[in-house]
Structure 1
Amino acid sequence: MKNGIFITGTDTEVGKTIIAAGIAYALKAKNIDVGVMKPIASGSRNDAQLLKRTAQVDDPIDLINPVYFDLPIAPSVASKIESRESDLQKVYNAFEHLSQQHNFLVVEGIGGIAVPIGRDKSVADLAKRIDFPVLIVGRSYLGTINHTVLTVAFAKSFGLEICGIVLNTDQDIQRDISVATNSIEIERLTGLPILGEVPFNQHIFGEDIPIDLVGDFVSGHIDIAKIYPS
């Protein structure tokens, strides 16, 4: 078993951080030495801070999130506007350090799988370099079939190993026929397992969320054993 998982999404704001935090918390609760990483962030470091809190680690935030841009846009664009490079070597060095510090590492990519993180690099290139199984997070409602199938196809074109998909409900919407059937159709079209369907919970959003609330709720809807077999 490879000692980590790389979490990407079908889009930005699909709930990658909440899912990553829930997984980290669940593994920590099993007494697994788990570390977390958000290699590149833009606009805010809140995601990295939440990961740090839920994993209950002492690693400095600059190691968990080695590359940060002020502007909430694609890193490749932010680097031009802010006149500084997206330092991928800094990311790789931090990754190697955290991998040696912990037995298992939960890595959350920025945005979706095709987001450009440098002049000629995307999140998929980063996932390829890190070489962990990839978990794809997508929305649960109408439109997710197209987004998820395209994300899977793009990831496979890079030779990435995909361990499964989690469908997350990030809005308070009525559970309609699309929500009830999307997981079945996505499994049929991709040949990949749905490892969880996480319902909407308004109490797990915000900067000061109790970590046990996030961890217990999210991990209760995900098949953690498929991510970290005991």
Structure 2
Amino acid sequence: MSAQIYFVSGIDTGIGKTYVTGYLAKIWREQGRNVITQKLIQTGNVDVSEDIEKHREIMGCGWLEEDTQKLTMPEIFSYPASPHLATRIDGRSIDFAKIEQATQQLSSSYEVVLLEGAGGLMVPLTTQYLTIDYLVDKKYPIILVSSGRLGSINHTLLSLEALKHRGLELYALAYNLNAESDDELISRDTSAYLKKYLSQHFPSAKWIDIPFIE
């Protein structure tokens, strides 16, 4: 078995990538797909990834053996910052071979791997290597998390332009209703604008509504 690996990125920090990753895993599992999540690089934690913990909470599946083995969280750094800074503070570099090996081990046992990134597409993993560079190397299709809050149109279009410029595949735009603007008019207009833009410029990409949590 070789899984389909999707990379979950966002238009900005705090857009809800972790919730979206866990939610999609939950829904797809309910639909009968064998899904696991992985965190590319976790910062701001020691030993255990809080994002993986959140995924499991949303999925309602409990802690997995692959979590215990750290396959789902191969690189964790203690300082809550961009990876290029967190690695410097911890005094060690990212082991990309270790991450790749972990992803491939998950891929051999699951139908789908949802690989959550850190921040947005242009977040530096090292001083010379951006997240988007990693995606160019791996050719993973991307699920981009957006929302209806003020500024989302600009950030979303910039992210989509970056994907197009690098020749990367957009699998879906995940519209997170948990990160909406308090202004309903802005939210409705943002949703309508992005749907139209997506249909015109990325016609093969899916639109996925991520429901609001009460």
Same fold (TM over 0.5): yes
Aligned counterparts, 1:201-220, within 5 A:
201-202=213-214
Judge conservation of contact 2:171–2:206 (CA < 8 Å) in 1.
Answer: no
Aligned counterparts, 1:174-185, within 5 A:
174-185=182-193
Q: Give distance in 2, aligned partners of 1:2 and 1:150.
A: 29
Instruction: Give the C-alpha shift of residue 199 in structure 1.
Output: 4.8
Correspondence for 2:210: 198
Query: How many residues in Structure 1 have an aligned counterpart in Structure 2?
Result: 202
Aligned counterparts, 1:1-230, within 5 A:
3-44=4-45, 45-53=49-57, 54=59, 56=61, 57-61=64-68, 62-171=70-179, 173-190=181-198, 191-192=201-202, 195-202=207-214
What do residues 87-110 of structure 1 show as CA deviations (whole Å, max 9, x unaligned)?
111111111111111111111111
What do residues 55-97 of structure 1 show as CA deviations (whole Å, max 9, x unaligned)?
7343135210111111010001111121100111111111111
- Equivalent position amino acid for 1:110 in 2: A
Judge conservation of contact 1:10–1:113 (CA < 8 Å) in 2.
Answer: yes
Corresponding residue SS for 2:128 = coil
Task: Tell me the percent identity.
Answer: 25
Corresponding residue SS for 2:7 = strand
After TM superposition, the score normalised by the length of structure 1 is 0.79
Corresponding residue SS for 1:92 = helix
Corresponding residue SS for 2:195 = helix
What do residues 145-196 of structure 1 show as CA deviations (whole Å, max 9, x unaligned)?
0000001111222221002212213457534222111122223345235623
Q: Give distance in 2, aligned partners of 1:171 and 1:42.
A: 22
What do residues 125-160 of structure 1 show as CA deviations (whole Å, max 9, x unaligned)?
222333221111012122100000001111222221
Correspondence for 1:216: none
* Structure 1 residue ranges without an equivalent (≥5): 203-230
Q: Give distance in 2, aligned partners of 1:40 and 1:132.
A: 16
Shift in alpha-carbon separation, 1:14–1:2, aligned structure 2, 3 A: same
Q: Give distance in 1, aligned partners of 2:182 and 2:101.
A: 45
- C-alpha RMSD of matched pairs (Å): 2.2
Correspondence for 1:217: none
- Equivalent position amino acid for 2:111 in 1: N
Corresponding residue SS for 1:95 = helix
After TM superposition, the score normalised by the length of structure 2 is 0.85
Q: Give distance in 2, aligned partners of 1:85 and 1:185.
A: 41
Q: Give distance in 2, aligned partners of 1:103 and 1:172.
A: 32
